Amino acid sequence: MMKETDTHRMTKQPHQRPRRPGYAKDLLDVAAMPRKQIDDLLRLAASLKTKQRRSTPHRLLPGKTLGLLFQKPSTRTRVSFEAGMNQLGGHALVLPMGDIQLSRGETVSDTARVLSRYLDGIVIRTYDHAVVEEWAAEASMPVINGLTDHSHPCQALSDLLTIQEVKGRLKGLTLAYIGDGNNVANSLIEAGVKMGMRVVAGCPAGYQPDQHVIDRAIVEAETTGGAVEIFENPQVAVKEADVIYTDVWISMGREREQARRLKILASYQLNGRLLQRAKPDAIVMHCLPAHRGEEIAADVLDGPQSVVIDQAENRLHMQKAILVQLLTRQKGR
């Protein structure tokens, strides 16, 4: 039986308005999303990307305002949401923590309920996953997880878009994640298995993805045809992979562990030798920012099999799809 953890959604409060059945109000984790919702997002993101490439107007959110509350530094998440909202005809409002009353002790409950009267949605990038759960429980507007220490759902969803573009499908592919089993690894497992992929993690002991994420994915795989496998040996993990993915070894908030992490993860570098173990047409992915010479060799990151820049671009298109899907489904306030 699955144990209750602090990453599960909190019970919605009575002041929240009912939503149409099918999709959740918020986007906190990929695991909580129905398969149809992800399929719809992939189709919508591809359509929006085509419209942008053709300079076709797609102002689907006129008059909407999105809040961006970031407690961690950000380049791709912040810029893609801010630019995306503007391209959709809406407005993005950055809310620096030091400039709002949360920094002086106002409760999340009071802040969330008030901002729900001002905004049409909010993206939150923070440390503790319980923070975005509390926001979702208290706010009547959609709450989007822009990254927590537990998960990075927007990244994983945009990665599905990139893989589908390059490979033409998702189901049946093998995605090998190498290195630190962090928040990105958690979300990739959730997303990949839900779409019928085989997700393999090659991580040292003590640095593997969260066990409850793995356990839940194993159950999910029984109905999707996907699979999740965990290895300590990176050479075994990447064998015959269609996609090889890595991320930084020192995530935000882990800087004090730098020396120990560099030593333990040194043999997990994604380099040419490791890439040769995968399929000849395997693609290389990294969510950026990258530390060349640490988790990935420069010649691999910049090499012909790398799709990292396309991957980064697709953050914009998937973020726009998420905004359209969530912000156009709101009831009148």
Using CA atoms, how far residue 79 sits from 3, 29, 45, 136, 158, in Å, is 37, 21, 17, 23, 15
pLDDT in tens, 199-211: 999 999 999 999 9
Q: Which helix (H) or strand (E) holds 153?
A: helix 153-167
The whole-angstrom separation of Cα 205 and Cα 211 is 12
pTM: 0.91
Please, which residues bridge with residue 229 across strands? 200
261 belongs to the catalytic site: no
Q: Residue 254: its pLDDT value, please?
A: 72
Residue 5 has pLDDT above 50, yes or no: no
pLDDT in tens, 219-251: 999 999 999 999 999 999 999 999 999 999 987
155 belongs to the catalytic site: yes
Residue 33 has pLDDT above 70, yes or no: yes
Active-site choice (78, 129, 150, 152): 152
Residue 20 has pLDDT above 50, yes or no: no
| DSSP conformation class of 2 | P
C-alpha of 77 from chain center: 10
Active-site choice (76, 78, 125, 129): 125
Residue 295 has pLDDT above 50, yes or no: yes
315 belongs to the catalytic site: yes
Fold equal for 30-152+315-327 and 153-312: yes
What is the rounded average pLDDT of the residues 117-129?
Answer: 97
Question: Which CATH superfamily does the domain covering 153-312 fall into?
Answer: Aspartate/ornithine carbamoyltransferase (3.40.50.1370)
Specify burial of residue 304 (Cβ count, 10 A radius: 0-12, 13-18, 19+). Answer: exposed
212 belongs to the catalytic site: no
Active-site choice (71, 247, 311, 319): 247
287 belongs to the catalytic site: yes
Q: Where are the chain's structural domains?
A: 30-152+315-327, 153-312
DSSP state string for 48-77 = HHHHHHTT-----STT-EEEEEESS--SHH
The whole-angstrom separation of Cα 283 and Cα 307 is 7
Average pLDDT over all residues of the chain: 92
Q: Which fold has domain 30-152+315-327?
A: Rossmann fold (3.40.50)
Using an 8 Å Cβ cutoff, are 166 and 283 in contact?
yes
164 belongs to the catalytic site: no
Cα-Cα-Cα-Cα dihedral sign, residues 328, 146, 173, 278? positive
